[in-house]
């Protein structure tokens, strides 16, 4: 009974991790170097930025929203990081703070446009995403810049030769979200996504919850932009679109309901790992790189199909599997 209850509550998250485990096993079996720390480090570095974006997108989706600007926010903050996250330790620390604050400000703007402007989230964030992309091009017209090598090594290498730093980054994203989820603002985000009318009738501040969700989404997008900078030691204004689409795909694969109110950041991270592992598999088994969207689209279609089936069965929209 206990096992069936766990599967009922966390079934879609467990399914996403199960798919990832199968893909990871295949990947390690075809990789020339096998299951070595170096292989895990390279692979996790490729996954971390998308995982961070997926967490941010999940928080927005939990509030019954969508953020099409999350990729452009990542690109903008990545470009800003290529100017500011270098120099002395104090300058690096200040640069990191400014980058994260910029992401939060972009998310706040999204929230205000959606809530105060009363625009559909998909339209509002599509428009703000274009603005953020333009700003990224102004900050860094072509890829380049400089980011602290010391901080980059710390974030993209391994810890004591035991675990890749990027794995700890992804675990840190989960650790950052769960205290927020248990805070009244986190509970409000989920309640608003489940039923806005019921949340308002319960005395919750619906507008504040929605704005907070978009702001948090911007923070995680900035963290993703920072991590891309740690990988490349530069900024690139053109990286936004692909990451936006993949963040939504990761959310769906991870089991979060696009209708809001139910989902899991842990599942969304699994979705990000699935997408990145598919890309790695395509490379190592010798398929054409252009086949990657086909495989990713197939996985996404399967996930959406499961999501539609699950939605028809939900009776209580307050059900949340975290």
pLDDT at 99: 97
Distance CA 237, CA 72 (A): 8
**Closest alpha carbon to 249 in 273, 284, 219:** 273
Task: Tell me the whole-structure pTM to 2 decimals.
Answer: 0.89
pLDDT at 221: 97
Burial of 236 (0-12, 13-18, 19+ CB in 10 A): buried
Tokens of 105: 């400000």
pLDDT at 253: 87
pLDDT at 296: 63
Distance CA 95, CA 30 (A): 40
Whether the Cβ atoms of residue 35 and residue 27 lie closer than 8 Å to each other: no
pLDDT at 7: 56
Q: Which residue numbers in the chain have pLDDT < 50?
A: 1, 314-322
pLDDT at 197: 82
Query: pLDDT, tens digit, for every residue of 170-217?
Result: 999 999 998 988 888 888 888 888 888 888 878 788 889 999 999 999
pLDDT at 264: 86
Q: Cα-flanking dihedrals φ and ψ of residue 163, to 5°?
A: -140, 140
Q: Where are the domains of the chain?
A: 42-306
pLDDT at 318: 41
Which strand (E) or helix (H) includes residue 59? helix 37-62
Write the CA distances from 94 to 86, 97, 101, integer angstroms: 10, 5, 10
Q: Which residues pair with 159 in a beta bridge?
A: 163
- In sequence order, which residues have a C-beta less than 8 Å from that of residue 185 and are 6 or more positions away? 208, 209, 212
Whether the Cβ atoms of residue 104 and residue 218 lie closer than 8 Å to each other: yes
Taking the CA atoms of residue 149, residue 157, residue 237 and residue 292 in that order, the dihedral angle to the nearest 10 degrees is 160
Distance CA 30, CA 113 (A): 48
Number of CB atoms found within 10 A of residue 111's CB: 29
Whether the Cβ atoms of residue 166 and residue 156 lie closer than 8 Å to each other: yes
Give first-to-last CA distance, the chain, whole Å.
19
Sign of CA dihedral 265, 312, 21, 291: negative
Largest CA distance in the chain: 59
Query: pLDDT, tens digit, for every residue of 85-130?
Result: 999 999 999 999 999 999 999 999 999 999 998 899 999 999 999 9
């Amino acid at each position: 009974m206990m096992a069936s209850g766990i599967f009922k509550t966390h079934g879609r998250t467990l399914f996403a991790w199960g798919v990832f485990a199968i893909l990871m096993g295949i990947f390690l079996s075809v990789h020339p170097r096998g299951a070595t720390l170096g292989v895990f480090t390279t692979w996790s570095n490729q996954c971390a930025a998308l995982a961070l974006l997926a967490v941010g997108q999940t928080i927005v989706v939990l509030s019954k929203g969508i953020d099409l600007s999350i990729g452009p926010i990542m690109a903008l903050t990545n470009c800003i990081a290529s100017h500011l996250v270098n120099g002395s330790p104090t300058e690096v620390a200040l640069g990191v703070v400014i980058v994260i604050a910029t992401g939060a400000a972009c998310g706040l703007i999204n929230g205000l446009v959606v809530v105060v402007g009363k625009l559909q989230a998909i339209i509002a964030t599509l428009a703000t995403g274009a603005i953020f992309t333009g700003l990224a091009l102004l900050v860094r017209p072509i890829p380049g810049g400089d980011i602290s090598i010391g901080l980059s090594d710390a974030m993209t290498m391994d810890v004591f030769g035991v675990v890749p730093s990027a794995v700890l980054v992804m675990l840190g994203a989960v650790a950052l979200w769960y205290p927020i989820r248990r805070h009244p603002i986190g509970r409000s985000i989920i309640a608003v996504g489940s039923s806005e009318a019921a949340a308002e009738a319960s005395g919750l501040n619906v507008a504040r919850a929605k704005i907070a969700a978009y702001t948090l989404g911007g923070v995680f997008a900035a963290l993703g932009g920072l991590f891309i900078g740690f990988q490349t030691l530069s900024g690139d204004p053109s990286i936004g679109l692909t990451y936006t689409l993949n963040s939504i795909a990761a959310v769906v694969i991870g089991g979060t309901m696009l209708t809001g109110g139910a989902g899991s950041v842990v599942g969304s991270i699994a979705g990000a790992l699935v997408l990145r592992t598919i890309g790695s598999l395509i490379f190592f088994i010798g398929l054409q790189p252009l086949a990657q969207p086909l495989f990713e689209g197939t996985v996404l279609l399967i996930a959406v199909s499961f999501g539609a089936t699950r939605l028809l069965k939900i009776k209580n929209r307050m059900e949340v599997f975290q």
